[in-house]
Structure 1
Amino acid sequence: MPDGREPEAPGGGTGRTGRPRLTERRKAEIRLEIARAAVELFAAQGVTATTGEQIGRAVGVSSRTVWRYFPSKESCVTPLLTAGIDKIAACLRDWPPGTSLAEALSPALSPALSPALESDGRSDLPGIPESRELVRLTRTEPGLRAVWLQSHDQAEPAFATALATRAGLPPDDLRPAIQAAMLNAALRAAAERDAWQGDAGAGSGAGCGLSASLRSALAVVEEGLA
């Protein structure tokens, strides 16, 4: 049954049903709703037991809508993994000389850099998604692991271009590409360390948690950039 929220056919102001086409902003909102619902279901019952119909039902859309937005149920989590790529790239381009990497990225990473994050695990940057549960799942679910790594593949060229622009280097210069790979790996390592320490029952002591892991990882990257 049509749910009234599906994207209409391209090529005109309305689709074949006569409904107004969804705006790009609304499409992004629906994608994010689907992503959050998918994570909740994956955490509750596992990826294998979760169906597209269940994900759609949790959001109030049809399974057809889910498959229009995503090619597989595992890929439904992508919006949570790629939300902050453009923000971080913009911060890298505008990174002032004499400013630490953590300070430069603060506008994009401030939620994650705050110890207050430890209470709910929320963020919106690539590699450090809204819930630690998603990162935990990537450790045991191969399909989610592939999506997780793919999100970092998407981030790295954006970071490299931003660093090249900042340094006045050609976009294909090797140096910013290596620097971007370092930063990308640091973000992933910080998220995984935080989530997987929780799996082992750690992460509650001094110096543990996402904020501490991220600050430590950025400090290591900055040493390499220097």
Structure 2
Amino acid sequence: MSERRRALVRLEIARAAVDLFTVKGVAATTGDDIARAVGVSTRTLWRYFPGKEACVRPLLTTGLDHIAALLRSCPDGVPLLDHLERAGLFDHDVPHAVEPVAHLIRMTRTEPGLMAVWLEVHHAAEGVFAEILATRTGAPPGDLAVRVQAAALNVALRLAAEEQARLVAEGDRPPAGGLGALMRTALTAAARGLPAFGGGAAGGPPGPGGPPAA
């Protein structure tokens, strides 16, 4: 099976899992239920995912993969926040904010298994962000200053998504622009004093051992 076909099957499984979790609840949904909904054997399902909660992972990674691609495309000398702004990331609700993903993120608040997957996805993304920032700054990916900036980017994105989910769940109106606007607010706050984001001026020059401004 081609990699593209495998990715499509994984996404189909993820959507079926979210639908079942929404209707039946996570505890009452089995791997057999998910496999049956997709039209594959349970044995095949476990070749794709180690557990039923992990089946939702492809939906949770879509937005982070998109942002990582935007960061990689940032030209040298252009602050990352400026590049994301020009790319239109903050102008509208981004694809991974729409249902069923927004509902899935809301479910992570009450389902420990789904929360574990959500945090694992962001943990993996943090390493990707560190590699991107290291390339821009010339520091190794394991450099503490690079890892701190990657963590700040990661947490800002996660909190923006969770804030969107909270507002919708509580019946509050999200800000104009939806998740895009929330990400702008969160990343701007995180960028203060972090040179790779273009925030070095606000926070002063990086300390000893820190990477140069990007």
Q: Report the TM-score, using the length of structure 2 for normalisation.
A: 0.81
1:77 aligns with 2:56: yes
SS at match of 2:192: helix
Between Structure 1 and Structure 2, the one with more helix by share is 2
Instruction: Give the equivalent residue in structure 1 for 2:163.
Output: 193
What CA distance in whole angstroms lies between the structure 2 residues aligned with 1:100 and 1:88?
11
What CA distance in whole angstroms lies between the structure 2 residues aligned with 1:189 and 1:129?
18
Instruction: Give the equivalent residue in structure 2 for 1:122.
Output: 95
What CA distance in whole angstroms lies between the structure 2 residues aligned with 1:27 and 1:221?
36
Change (3 A) 1:45 1:106: farther
Instruction: Give the equivalent residue in structure 1 for 2:206.
Output: none
Shift of 1:94: 4.0
Change (3 A) 1:105 1:181: farther
Counterpart of 1:202, as a letter, is: D
SS at match of 1:64: helix
- Deviation string for 1:92-134 (max 9, x for gaps)? 3443334451533765x74xx343x3xxx7328xxx9962001
Matches for 1:61-210 after TM superposition, within 5 Å: 61-96=40-75, 97-99=77-79, 101=81, 103-104=83-84, 110=89, 113-115=90-92, 117=93, 122-123=95-96, 131-204=101-174, 206-207=175-176, 209-210=178-179
Structure 1 runs of 4+ aligned residues shifted over 6 Å read none
SS at match of 1:139: coil
Instruction: Give the equivalent residue in structure 1 for 2:193.
Output: 224
- Deviation string for 1:120-177 (max 9, x for gaps)? x7328xxx99620010000000100111101011010110011011111122211111
Shift of 1:184: 0.2
Counterpart of 2:50, as a letter, is: P
What CA distance in whole angstroms lies between the structure 1 residues aligned with 2:79 and 2:171?
36
Q: CA RMSD in A?
A: 2.4
Answer with 128-137 or 52-61: which moved more.
128-137
Q: Report the TM-score, using the length of structure 1 for normalisation.
A: 0.77
Count how many residue pairs are aligned between Structure 1 and Structure 2: 194
What CA distance in whole angstroms lies between the structure 2 residues aligned with 1:102 and 1:44?
41
From 182, 192, 198, the equivalent of 1:213 is: 182
Structure 2, unmatched stretches of 5+, are 200-214
Structure 1, unmatched stretches of 5+, are 1-21
Instruction: Give the equivalent residue in structure 1 for 2:7.
Output: 28
Instruction: Give the equivalent residue in structure 1 for 2:19.
Output: 40
Counterpart of 1:141, as a letter, is: E
Identity %: 52
Counterpart of 1:178, as a letter, is: V
